[in-house]
Structure 1
């Protein structure tokens, strides 16, 4: 057999040519390919080019003396946090640890924000948003709403690096078409695997990446999107009565996260052009960036901090849209109760349906609880997500340029088929009853 310098698309193992079947086979996972299908696949992979993900940073400029004459830096002596505020503020409270801040120095040499989104939501709205967020959460410990102590609510302009780019690229997915049928005494699952390739382009604008180390990145992405249509050219007057976090993450440090969001956003957008597959998984993507731009902006955030059972819980409210994010505690007792309740309800219902159809008590007793447990777990996962909604955004779908998606190439290449056969339990039971 002759070794091919190519890895199996299924498991990554080295492929061999089988002279009996005249096909290319994988000795590790037993998948099989025709020579023509494999050639089409390898030719397609070879078309992938080199990525270009460089950024234009010319729009970012430093503060001038005129910009900084009315603002100062305040440093927390406890945690080291630094914020920017107008010069009439003699002292203030640290938004991260709650201790007092003191004036330390003038603001010199820092980069000046290009834009600022002024606060649209006030303090009362932030309080009401938290109350609404907590309300109707069946897994919340009963004492949380009654005994938790709300700490100071603070308005803070959070620094973000915002990125624009037009993206041209190629994304290769692996798609499967699943067919299930009965063959004699067996349940058969047939999977056909395809290499699904889309070439094209899309534009993104004002994709934000958190520029503060002390601010939790997941928390900030959880309150997106920010509407850049509400942004104004930066003016220190907007800081009057408010504070701004001083950025401590350079634009260079945020490039990787920005590139990841553009990549995921492109993969999501191209996926919208693909139809007819039961599953679709990204295997490879190659991007070329153009018309790139990196700028600096301040976005409004209300920070809320509550103390319960000596544990700290942090929440953030988008000061422009009002969207709230935060993680709530979960009662283990309530979680177990609802899991058991849903297991009884759905397990009992499925047991009854299976028994009515098959008349087989043993099969009904097996399928009912298992199916009921799976449904109960899915419901509990959904309920838990409502309690803990702090997570990274996938991609940049909220920042797509209108009508910018274009698909210039489509290739769907058949790879291989995988068949699994499972002995039908019902046929075995019927055979036992006949004996």
Structure 2
């Protein structure tokens, strides 16, 4: 394993079809090739590839229910909470902390089976018990003894939940007389045909198989599309309409400082109310701007920063940056703070998850043609150090610092894409 420097690595993205905007829907997914929405509940499910070189029995393949904003362990935690010996969490974060903030898989399958495409059955040509089940093409292992995979697996769903996993189509793996193994196909794609049969692709032999049902039994009734719920979870995105008259509450509107005490917030990069330079935008260098602020009142133990855009369409406001536990003796942050959950300089500073779904700063990126969006850099002087789990979001931070604000201040910048 290696460190993923791109925050979009090992994630599932949510994007506009025209590419104008995208955010991280879920993270910690090592290699989820096959995924789909359950036809009755609308829940998103995916099969994740495990790690190689940990032995024949590690890592088992993961079936995950993929939910917005959740983390699924990679690259530090895998399977049922096991630690990856090939890597370590960022400095200041333990395996246990990473484990606590990661969701465990709902089911596990044979190690190195290599899940590829997955499809939910919505047809009516198979017996009724197959309606709403998922089928997964397992490509097969390359260095496991004995080999695994080379099959289609059925995920039996009942009442919208996966109850069991079982082989559905086999016979592609052959044991020779001398004890060696061979294979007849490397499976890749699986899809349902309009007539209710399944198509299965072998990309090593260039063959497409058609899977049909012949036998006794009542055919299934196709799931109602009306019951499938909202399957467009990956279609909408932030920053897609001009500013509106009714604006959401910013952090400063929710958190009240004692006696209304304020501190001044400044930046060498831009003036209050002025345009934010291009290099600080997501389209350019995506560098956090340098910030300076006045010293907090007596009793200040730490500072917190939150950068928000109230002019975004979704979510409102769109959070671009969260930083907490800035030491009381620090009243500035340099340009280009690393996008890490915990900083070494200043030591102990933690960064939460922005609305994009990544750690640290995410620069302005409003839709092309929108009027200038406003970006509020809010600084809070707190009477305590705030301990939060890695991956804390806006609500986690607001809940943690409520009642601890001694003073607050803000700097507003604007940005427009033409």
Q: TM-score, normalised by structure 1?
A: 0.20
| Higher-helix-fraction structure | 1
* Larger Rg computed on CA atoms: 1
Give the TM-score normalised by structure 2.
0.21
- Bigger RCO (CA 8 Å, 6+ sep): 1
